[in-house]
Structure 1
Amino acid sequence: MSLKDELTDLQQCLDRLDRTVLRVAAEVGDSLEIRRIRTDAAHLRESVALLGAPTPAAGAGGPPRVELITIPDAPYDSALWTDSDDEGLGARDRHAP
């Protein structure tokens, strides 16, 4: 069988599952478990639809390229930290209570 045939068969199984869940829900009522089964079945249906969707060509529509920024190993200018607090120690001009 081809992939398309397999996905069609899977769709039919999901249709049968939906009908069965409706019949069971009519007997036991709309409980938390039935709602979870419906949600899970909907997720399965979405996943099957994604499997059947055409895949984009390589490089087209893929994730955007991220520009890498090189950070030098040279020490930072100490003037950047003159008015900063040391994490966990508090301000330099105050004492702990």
Structure 2
Amino acid sequence: MFAMASTTTELAELHRVLGQLRSCVSTLRSRYGDPPCVQRISNDVDRLDIDVAELSNVLPAPRRSAETRDDVVIVPDTPYDPALWRDADDEGLGGQAPQ
């Protein structure tokens, strides 16, 4: 429920900022007229507005907990089986003398 409220707040802020941006573009248009650069900026704001409206209809992705993250490898604290190291060499020290 918290994530949905957070998303709603973020979308409301995005709508507010887009309104300010649209106001700035309107001021630019009144000062510079309608050259291609102002038309492109206005077009970009329109596209942002369309994307934000579309995003408003999309459910946020569920957050993944630390246990389900793919980049986290959990290493147990239990000792390793000594048989894993039976024929291993110590790096930089050479092989072990036969016993």
Q: Distance in 2 between matches of 1:46 and 1:24?
A: 21
**TM norm structure 1:** 0.53
Query: For residues 2-59 of structure 1, what are the alpha-carbon distances to aligned partners after superposition, in whole Å with 9 as ceiling and x for unaligned?
Result: 101100100000000010111111111111011101111011011111111145xxxx
Match of 2:44 in 1: 40
Residue segments in structure 2 that go unaligned for 5+ positions in a row = 60-99
The reply to whether residue 4 of structure 1 matches residue 8 of structure 2 is yes
Q: Which amino acid aligns with 1:9?
A: E
Q: Distance in 1 between matches of 2:38 and 2:25?
A: 7
Q: Distance in 2 between matches of 1:33 and 1:54?
A: 32
Q: Distance in 1 between matches of 2:49 and 2:37?
A: 18
Length, aligned pairs only: 55
Root mean square deviation of aligned Cα: 1.3
**TM norm structure 2:** 0.52
Which of 27, 31, 34 is 1:30 aligned to?
A: 34
Q: Which runs of 4+ in 1 moved over 2 A?
A: none
Match of 1:21 in 2: 25
Higher helix proportion (structure 1 or 2):
2
